[in-house]
Chain A
Amino acid sequence: MNMLEVKDLRKRFGDNEVLKGINLTLKKGEVLAIIGSSGGGKTTLLRCLNFLEKANSGEILVGGRSVYRATEGEKPEVTPEAQLSFGLVFQQFNLFPQYSVIENLMLAPKLRAKRKTTQGERETPEAIRERAEKLLATVGLSEKANAYPCQLSGGQQQRVAIARALMLSPDILCFDEPTSSLDPELTGEVLRVIRSLKSSDRTMIIVTHEMEFARHVADKVIFISDGIIEEQGTPEEVFGNPQSEKTKAFLSAGQKV
């Protein structure tokens, strides 16, 4: 079954149509890399999936269940469950500066446990802390648990942001150019962490300019240009034997740099 299915997703800003009908599917455990030149709509797609923007029309299904379905002139409310089926790691990290690393991880889960509407068993603060400590170990930052974001390097901040997103156990974790605002020598540690997260039950979407990374980590690659999927396939297909002229031009321009 498809973990994620996106059907004819469209997004306009004013009369600028930025997403012109995106269709894609993703199986559980798959990693999707989205590539494409700047302004193509990659960020907007991730923002629509995370409901930071509401698509004007189209449908989003997670695990076969429709979580968002808009028709022209009618945008639905986003339920908390729909929101939590996605997680997003931002280019600019967006850690909460007044909280220590471990508090950044625990804040949202604690609030969720406190909310009255939560059904089933409430996670205890001890259980939340235990999970946070485990995830910090996963991203290699156990010794920074009590540091504040301003005391960390960009790469470390991004790893914290990844762990923070994982605390909510999203079905699909999205990354928007997670290394683009980092110094080159710090991109490696973040990409290594993302690669290490790859597992049979973690579905991920990564917008990236790191072609090597996309080639080796992704199961699927799509090339977006001007709000449409110009090309999609396995890394071998897209990188090795691109069909569209635009993809060829984009890839060869990348190689020259």
Chain B
Amino acid sequence: MEQFWKITLDLCVGFGETLKIFFITLAMALPLGLIISFGSMSKFKPLAFLTRGFVWIIRGTPLMLQLITVYYGPGLVFKQMLFTAPMAVYITFTINYACYFSEIYRGGIESITKGQYEAGQVLGMTRRETFFKVILLQVVKRIIAPMSNEIITLVKDTSLARVVTYYELIYFAQRYTKNAGLLWPLFYTAVYYLVFTAILTLLFRWLEKKLDYFKA
């Protein structure tokens, strides 16, 4: 029993590392995704083309492969590691998720009728004001469902970080298998993921309720 609590606490530390990936990725990928979505919708065709090509590559290849490329790639090319494991993880996750988010943003932004932009214009609002004061919240309301899917996937994708020696929850659990022949801590990690995704689910449901007061 004592061992159970000791391992539970130790795994909490591992889960802290998992959460670090989660929150850093989210904090950087949410705004970056918006910028990428602007790029992919740009009227300047070469920019739109390049952005969409980039998004296609990122979404079309496994995250694990991207992690390995960012972490080991520079070493192979320049004979010199460029990033520490955490840096490689944060960079790769951020870019990968920003690309997924950008497509969700794009769908949301393109679904807003042009009447909303035109109303802003004839009321003398700038395009920027119209976007941030009028369009954005309507987009947020429309993308909550696909966003929550993507964000819950991110929780579980963090486990891929261990392929570049980032010590996250699963890695912590596997140490018990290797060093003490204990298998249960590995399965026990599922509880951490489940509790956290349950919290996220409740959070998204709350947000959805909160925006229920208007139709868009």
Contact = CB atoms under 8 A, between A and B. Distances in A.
Contact of A168 (B118, B123, B216): B123
A69 interface: no
Contacts of A90: 115, 118-119
B122 A98 contact: no
A52 interface: yes
B116 A111 contact: no
A95 B122 CA distance: 12
Interface string B118-147: 111111110001000110011001000000
B122 A50 contact: yes
B122 A80 contact: no
B215 interface: yes
A112 interface: yes
A98 B121 contact: no
B133 A107 contact: yes
B215 A108 contact: no
A164 interface: yes
Contact of A150 (B133, B138, B141, B214): B214
Nearest to A164: B123
Contacts, number: 64
B215 A97 contact: yes
A112 B138 CA distance: 22
A95 B213 CA distance: 15
Contact of A80 (B113, B124, B211): B124
B184 to A, nearest CB: 49
A227 B115 CA distance: 23
A120 to B, nearest CB: 15
A111 B133 contact: yes
Contacts of A50: 121-122
A249 interface: no
Interface residues on B, range: 20 to 34
Interface residues on A, range: 20 to 34
A139 B20 CA distance: 54
A51 interface: yes
Nearest to A161: B119
A61 B142 CA distance: 42
A154 interface: no
A51 to B, nearest CB: 7
Given A92-B115, A97-B138, A86 B214 contact: no
Nearest to B136: A98
B134 to A, nearest CB: 5
Interface in A75-124: 80, 83-84, 86-88, 90, 92, 94-98, 107-108, 111-112
Contact of B215 (A83, A88, A150, A165): A150
A97 B216 contact: yes
Interface string B55-75: 000000000000000000000
A148 interface: yes
Contacts of B113: 94
10 contacts: A86-B122, A87-B122, A94-B113, A97-B138, A98-B137, A98-B138, A107-B125, A107-B133, A111-B133, A168-B124
Interface of B: 113, 115-116, 118-125, 129, 133-134, 137-138, 141, 211, 213-216
Given A50-B122, A98-B211, 19 more contacts: A50-B121, A52-B118, A83-B121, A86-B122, A90-B115, A92-B115, A94-B116, A94-B118, A96-B134, A97-B138, A97-B214, A98-B134, A98-B137, A107-B123, A108-B123, A108-B124, A148-B214, A149-B215, A165-B123
Interface of A: 50-52, 80, 83-84, 86-88, 90, 92, 94-98, 107-108, 111-112, 148-150, 164-165, 167-168
